[in-house]
Amino acid sequence: MSAPFSISADFIADHNARLDGATTEDYHALERTLARRGIDAEALVRKVTDFGVAIPTWGVGTGGTRFARFPGPGEPRNVFEKIDDCAVIHQLARATPAVSPHLPWDKVDDNAALREKAAAHGLAFDAVNSNTFQDQPGQALSYKFGSLSHTDKAVRDQAVAHNIECIEIGRKLGSKALTVWIADGSNFAGQSSLTKTLDRYIDAMREIVAALPADWRVFLEHKFYEPAFYSTVIPDWGTSFAAAQELGPKAYCLVDLGHHAPNVNIEQIVSRLVRFKKLAGFHFNDSRYGDDDLDTGSVDPFRLFLVFNELIDAERRKAEGFAPAYMIDQSHNVTDPIESLMQSAIELQRAYAQALIVDRAALEAAQETNDALGAHLELKRAFTTDVSPLLAAARLRTGGAIAPIAAYRASGYRAQRAKERPAVAGTSAGIV
């Protein structure tokens, strides 16, 4: 059997050679512009190079809606093939050095082999994600009416045991965190006790926290709605924060950009969690109407920039306990997942770089003198600066592609993978 198709370093170098002249010219032009503002472009490139965000293993597959899922060509059929696709994203965009597995979707018999597979591609493992929002084949008890907050202690014990198993698998993979999201809630008024469900959740989470290794953290993920539409057990950052407080110093609050009521000020939530030393990190995506899981920065890039503005502020203040984890969490229903994930990683780097060039002294001076428009314009000046040449320079210097999506399309990677990974099913109903 021939070896699986891969994109060679020589191919990337040849593709870059055709773009290098214009890229260098654009970089030097931006360098001069930034220098007039007292900003060192080379220092920014180094910061961008060090920035990384994790790719979820499930993200390289095609997503879906409640109504249908249309599989794409060459989809990965197992976690080893998912790692191959994640590796291509990092190879070209140079911004995604870690992968985040979801269990039991990614459960294997040989965790050492999986860790070696990732390491061979230069990838590490980020937080492991548990799944008690679906019933799995052979599962003894159903999660139809909840998991960690279920009325039946036997169901709660089963969910706790699964999370502890995830910790053990994550430890073997080299992870240092567990992400817990539950779908528990109700669809009818009176269906569940709003008080008892939260009590049961916190009691179950205490058992999970007790099983964490000394150097691990647990990330509590809230979600405003779906699949529970009347009430959700952990629906907002306030409930998540209160639970994390009760669970102790290993528990932190995860911010998914889509898991909020419409028009909520997410950057303010970020600043509050930083202030209370409970910010776990992020699941990055974007939304238009609700919890859409659209590509990061595709709808509201200014909001993404404002989130990073708070993060850079916390970093520069050396806020106590500030160590956010970054992961992309999207559903790619109509695009090639590899392309969407590369573009999202680039948009995250863009927001990060733009936040780095905010004139902090001028911003603070405007804030302290109540110069509302002046403060706003300081942010807009950074946001409207095209930092694309900085991002391209960072990729070029680390062996990536100047134009990752163009290089990916020219490589024929998807077509080759489609030959190696024949489709096993047609369209299907429901999210997969």
103-153 residue pLDDT tens:
999 999 999 999 999 999 999 999 999 999 999 999 999 999 999 999 999
Mean pLDDT of 371-386: 98
Which DSSP symbol is given to 333?
Answer: S
- At residue 427, the pLDDT reads 41
Give Dmax over CA atoms of the chain in angstroms.
70
The answer to whether residue 1 scores a pLDDT higher than 70 is: no
The answer to whether residue 234 scores a pLDDT higher than 50 is: yes
- At residue 430, the pLDDT reads 40
Of 63 and 49, the structure prediction assigns the larger pLDDT to 49
Instruction: Give the residue carrying structure tokens 């100047």.
Output: 402
Give the number of other Cβ atoms within 10 Å of residue 408's Cβ: 24
Phi/psi at 64 (5° precision): -170, 180
User: pLDDT above 90 covers what percent of the chain?
Assistant: 93
User: pLDDT above 70 covers what percent of the chain?
Assistant: 97
291-320 residue pLDDT tens:
899 999 999 999 999 999 999 999 999 999
Alpha-carbon span 225 to 39, nearest angstrom: 43
The answer to whether residue 428 scores a pLDDT higher than 70 is: no
Mean pLDDT of 144-170: 98
Alpha-carbon span 304 to 281, nearest angstrom: 14
The answer to whether residue 211 scores a pLDDT higher than 50 is: yes
Closest to 53 in 3D by CA, of 214, 285, 224, 263: 285
Q: Across the strands, what pairs with 151? A: none
Mean pLDDT of 365-384: 98
Alpha-carbon span 309 to 295, nearest angstrom: 20
Alpha-carbon span 203 to 130, nearest angstrom: 17
Alpha-carbon span 234 to 181, nearest angstrom: 9
Name the strands in the sheet holding 251-256, side by side, starting at the edge strand that comes first in the sequence.
102-103, 128-130, 177-180, 217-221, 251-256, 279-284, 325-328, 54-56, 98-100, 124-125
**Half-sphere exposure (CA, 13 Å, Cβ side) for 299?**
14
State the helix-helix crossing angle for 337-356 and 388-397, rounded to 10 degrees. Answer: 110
388-407 residue pLDDT tens:
999 999 999 999 999 999 99
- At residue 429, the pLDDT reads 39
Closest to 80 in 3D by CA, of 112, 126, 52, 53: 112
What 3-state class would DSSP assign to 214?
Answer: coil
The answer to whether residue 5 scores a pLDDT higher than 60 is: yes
Written as six digits, the tokens of 319 are 């806020």
- At residue 64, the pLDDT reads 83
Closest to 383 in 3D by CA, of 364, 405, 367, 359: 359
60-92 residue pLDDT tens:
999 888 788 888 999 999 999 999 999 999 999
The answer to whether residue 365 scores a pLDDT higher than 50 is: yes
Written as six digits, the tokens of 259 are 């898991």
- Structure confidence at residue 431 as a pLDDT band (50, 70, 90): very low
- At residue 2, the pLDDT reads 64
Written as six digits, the tokens of 415 are 């077509």
Record the pTM. 0.96
- At residue 432, the pLDDT reads 37
Alpha-carbon span 338 to 336, nearest angstrom: 6
Mean pLDDT of 177-204: 98
- Structure confidence at residue 424 as a pLDDT band (50, 70, 90): low
